């Protein structure tokens, strides 16, 4: 008997209909009207062509695919080579290096320091936000490399060596001495297992080699519980000396080209942020240079932290923007109950509500980026940035987690599978609330700044008063917020309520002054006027929801 094999016919039920095409091959800058307006308004217009080119490359299908692969084929730690030599190298998929190279080529890691034009921080902030739309994990080492420059400048002889290595447009991932490379990246290692955010509980010790002091050589011994991006070329870290907690630069290689005692003990198995390696590291007689005054490690490294906190706000804005782009794109293509989802009144309410949140996030974080620019010469702007950054970092990180969850629901079951970008955004969103200080740390930092430097309150209120008269609902909310600023015995207990009001007032001030009427009215009615429920999709009737959604549409 002869057995005959037949090629199976495609099953009729396997025709793919009513599925959303991928959102790709679009320009992240040209399609983000809120970001375009913010760049123009806050002083970054000189860099529009650079931003457009960056947005074009980030939105390409191959870049989006690289982001997927970099989060699928994860970093691998190699502590030893096959001959038994300690190497402490982290191996990445080429997709990771593709994303890093693209970013460094355009200046995401250093544009604000490489360019002298006013608005350079604004332009670079737009890059960080766009990068986070596609792949926020690789933004981490870019953020730290950008943020390290102000702290390095506390020690000019150290900055003279390392700053030129940062200020290049070449990404060089090779594991070799920094002096032999075309460009370097920086990381940070602050927290320890017994202290976390309480870095003054650190036990890592620093022993001077010679006279020590600022710029001097030390040997460190200790363990760091979190060191993000351990493949970087150098790190700022904290350790105790006889005069207290001090800041140090730890390079991967010694000045003579031999390997430093920088031992990567393991990589963290994180919920999200998978493409970026985070690690525990060990210092054992590790060579380091002191940066800044001895015993003043926190004030020295806090300049780096201040810039990274702005990037957390920008990153949260980017993740939210990505989630809303995907939700609107899905609703534009998916049909249910005889209509496209975007035409369904209740879905329209949800999408418009999400779009409002992103519009406010972009306006607030980009306004702060301008304060980082102008704060170098304007004391009022410097004070505004001091308080506003902690407020924005707290609020936008919190809003991001809730927003991504709602945007995921817009996709139904398709949003809850790991194959798509929504699952990655869902696992990424909570990180901003933890990185560079939890929500409580940010709120306490706001109170500390208000107590130690009362002028920060004057700067903040001055910013809020600029929008007075633009909308009655805003004016009433501002008066309530100012009342919360009055000193009281229970201020710490209600710190989150205060910071929430300040964040909404700052966002409202920006939108009242600068947003289209439909956006301003919807924000004031819901967030400030109180005509809003406890979940997204509860905007009041009578608003121009189509105009709000259309402004947020990516393609």
Which pLDDT tens digit goes with each residue over 335-372? Answer: 999 999 999 999 999 999 999 999 999 999 999 999 99
H or E segment to which residue 248 belongs: strand 244-251
Give 117's contacts (C-beta < 8 A, 6+ positions apart): 46, 47
d(CA 407, CA 444): 31
Query: Phi/psi of residue 215, each to 5°?
Result: 85, -10
Give me the phi and psi of 238, to 5 degrees please. Answer: -120, 140
- Integer Cα distance of 22 and 15 in angstroms: 17
Q: Which residue has the tokens 């997204």?
A: 536
d(CA 393, CA 246): 25
Q: Give the integer Cα–Cα distance in Å for 382 and 390.
A: 13
Would you list the DSSP string of 102-136? HHHHHTTTTHHHH--STTHHHHHHHHHHHHHHH-S
Q: Which of 99, 103, 20 is closest to 420 using CA atoms?
A: 20
Tell me the two tokens of residue 482: 């100012």
Cα–Cα distance for residue pair 423/420, rounded to 1 Å: 6
Q: Residues with Cβ < 8 Å from 337, sequence gap 6 or more?
A: 344
What percent of the chain has pLDDT above 70?
98
- Helix intervals (H) in 254-344: 297-333
The stretch 438-457 carries a mean pLDDT of 95
Query: Which DSSP helix (H) or strand (E) runs through 385?
Result: helix 379-409
Query: What are the pLDDT digits (tens) for 297-337?
Result: 999 999 999 999 999 999 999 999 999 999 999 999 999 99
Q: Encode pLDDT of 102-135 as tens digits.
A: 999 999 999 999 999 999 999 999 999 999 999 9
* Range of weakest confidence among 61-65, 354-358, 485-489, 519-523: 485-489
CA distances (Å), origin 417, targets 103, 112, 409, 424, 444: 28, 38, 12, 10, 38
Residue 9 in this model has a pLDDT that exceeds 80: no
Radius of gyration of the chain (CA): 24
- Distance separating alpha carbons of residues 173 and 144, to the nearest angstrom: 16
Domains of the chain from N-terminus onward = 33-166 (no CATH), 178-296 (2.40.110.20), 299-552 (1.20.140.10)
First to last CA, the chain: 60
127 phi/psi in degrees, rounded to 5: -60, -45
pLDDT in tens, 235-286: 999 999 999 999 999 999 999 999 999 999 999 999 999 999 999 999 999 9
Give the 3-state secondary structure of residue 154: coil
pLDDT tens-place string over residues 193-246: 988 888 888 999 999 999 999 999 999 999 999 998 999 999 999 999 999 999
């Amino acid at each position: 008997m002869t057995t005959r094999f037949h090629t199976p016919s495609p099953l009729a039920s396997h025709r793919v209909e009513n599925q959303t095409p991928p959102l790709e091959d679009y320009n992240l800058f040209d399609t983000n009207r809120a970001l375009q307006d913010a760049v123009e308004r806050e002083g970054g217009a000189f860099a529009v062509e650079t931003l457009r080119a960056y947005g074009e490359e980030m939105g390409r299908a191959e870049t989006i695919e690289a982001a997927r692969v970099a989060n699928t084929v994860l970093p691998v730690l190699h502590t030893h080579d096959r001959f038994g030599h300690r190497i402490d190298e982290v191996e990445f998929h080429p997709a990771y290096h593709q994303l890093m190279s693209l970013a460094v080529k355009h200046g995401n890691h250093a544009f604000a320091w490489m360019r002298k034009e006013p608005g350079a921080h604004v332009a670079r902030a737009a890059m960080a936000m766009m990068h986070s739309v596609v792949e926020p994990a690789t933004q981490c080492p870019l953020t730290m490399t950008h943020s390290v420059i102000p702290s390095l400048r506390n020690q000019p002889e150290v900055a003279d060596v390392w700053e030129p290595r940062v200020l290049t447009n070449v990404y060089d991932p090779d594991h070799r001495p920094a002096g032999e490379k075309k460009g370097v990246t920086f990381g940070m290692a602050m927290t320890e297992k017994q202290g976390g955010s309480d870095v003054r509980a650190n036990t890592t010790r620093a022993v001077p080699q010679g006279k020590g002091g600022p710029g001097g050589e030390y040997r460190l011994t200790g363990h760091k519980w979190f060191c993000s991006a351990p493949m970087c070329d150098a790190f700022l870290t904290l350790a105790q000396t006889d005069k207290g907690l001090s800041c140090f630069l730890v390079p991967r290689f010694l000045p003579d080209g031999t390997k430093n005692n920088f031992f990567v003990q393991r990589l963290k198995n994180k919920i999200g942020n998978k493409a970026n390696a985070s690690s525990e590291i060990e210092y054992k007689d590790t060579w380091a240079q002191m940066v800044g005054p001895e015993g003043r490690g926190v004030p020295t490294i806090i300049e780096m932290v201040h810039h990274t906190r702005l990037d957390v706000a920008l990153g949260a804005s980017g993740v939210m923007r990505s989630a809303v782009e995907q939700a609107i794109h899905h609703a534009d293509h998916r049909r249910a109950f005889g209509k496209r989802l975007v035409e369904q009144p209740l879905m329209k309410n949800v999408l418009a509500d999400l779009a409002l949140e992103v519009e406010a996030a972009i306006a607030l974080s980009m306004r702060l980026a301008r304060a980082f620019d102008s704060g170098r010469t304007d004391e009022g702007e410097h004070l505004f940035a001091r308080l506003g950054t902690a407020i924005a970092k707290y609020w936008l990180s919190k809003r991001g987690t809730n927003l991504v969850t709602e945007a995921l629901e817009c996709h139904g079951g398709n949003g809850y599978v790991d194959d798509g970008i929504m699952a990655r955004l869902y696992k990424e969103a909570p990180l901003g609330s933890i990185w560079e200080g939890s929500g409580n740390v940010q709120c306490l930092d706001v109170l500390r700044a208000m107590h130690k430097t009362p002028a920060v309150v004057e700067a903040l209120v001055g910013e809020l008063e600029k929008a007075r008269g633009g909308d009655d609902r805003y004016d009433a909310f501002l008066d309530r917020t100012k009342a919360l600023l009055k000193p009281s015995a229970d201020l710490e207990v209600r710190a989150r309520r205060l910071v929430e009001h300040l964040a909404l007032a700052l966002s409202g001030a920006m939108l009242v002054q600068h947003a289209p009427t439909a956006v301003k009215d919807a924000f004031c009615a819901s967030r400030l006027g109180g005509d809003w429920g406890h979940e997204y999709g509860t905007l009041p009737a009578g608003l121009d929801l189509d105009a709000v959604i259309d402004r947020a549409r990516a393609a």
